[in-house]
Amino acid sequence: MVLEERYVHAENGNLVDVFVYISKGVKDAPKPEGKVVIDQKGCQYTPHITGVVVGQPLEILNSDPTLHNVNCKAEENKGFNQGMAAGTKLEKVFEKPELKVQLKCDVHPWMGGMIHVMAHPFFSVSNKDGKYEIKGLPAGDYEVTVLYEMSRYEAAASTIPVTVGAEETKTVDFTFAPKKAAAE
């Protein structure tokens, strides 16, 4: 049985698949080389959450021995809804920054994923241990922001200011808690 990838916790209690990005302060950013790859494997999108930079190729694979379709629900960019036979791939490029671009498979309704289209490469997704790392950020004043796919949890602060010096490493931790139920 394949389960939806919701509320994934690391063994240490941290959340997996939290998108962390620099939301303010980036002035000049290098263009990334290469492409971002999402695979459909075991009837799940792998990775479940990812980021891509405007203009960077996104390659979507179907490594499963079955038909899938990729239904991309973009609002700022051109969405698409394309069937994919077993063993095929398709390549797409997004032209505008856009957070929370939904992917789903209309053939297998539990399959879902999310792409965040960024103007710069300064982002990360928390790994299987709930940790993340943003590399190559020049010295400066920034805001670090988190997005979590599910509305069941909320960050105590979703944006935290940080100043990074030359050759300096900073740690920015976010705390999530279950949302409180609305008063009846």
Quick: pLDDT tens for 78-135.
999 999 999 999 999 999 999 999 999 999 999 999 999 999 999 999 998 889 999 9
> Considering only 30-34, 58-62, 141-145, 174-178, which range has the smallest mean pLDDT?
174-178
> Considering only 2-16, 71-85, 117-131, 156-170, which range has the smallest mean pLDDT?
2-16
CA distance 172 to 176: 13
Amino acid at 38: I
Taking the CA atoms of 81, 88, 58 and 124 in sequence, report the sign of the dihedral they define. Answer: positive
SS3 of residue 171 by DSSP: coil
Taking the CA atoms of 117, 128, 174 and 138 in sequence, report the sign of the dihedral they define. Answer: negative
Quick: pLDDT tens for 27-48.
989 899 999 999 999 999 999 9
Cβ contacts of 100 within 8 Å, gap of 6 or more? 114, 116, 147
What global pTM score does this model have? Answer: 0.88
Domains and CATH numbers, the chain: 19-178 (2.60.40.420)
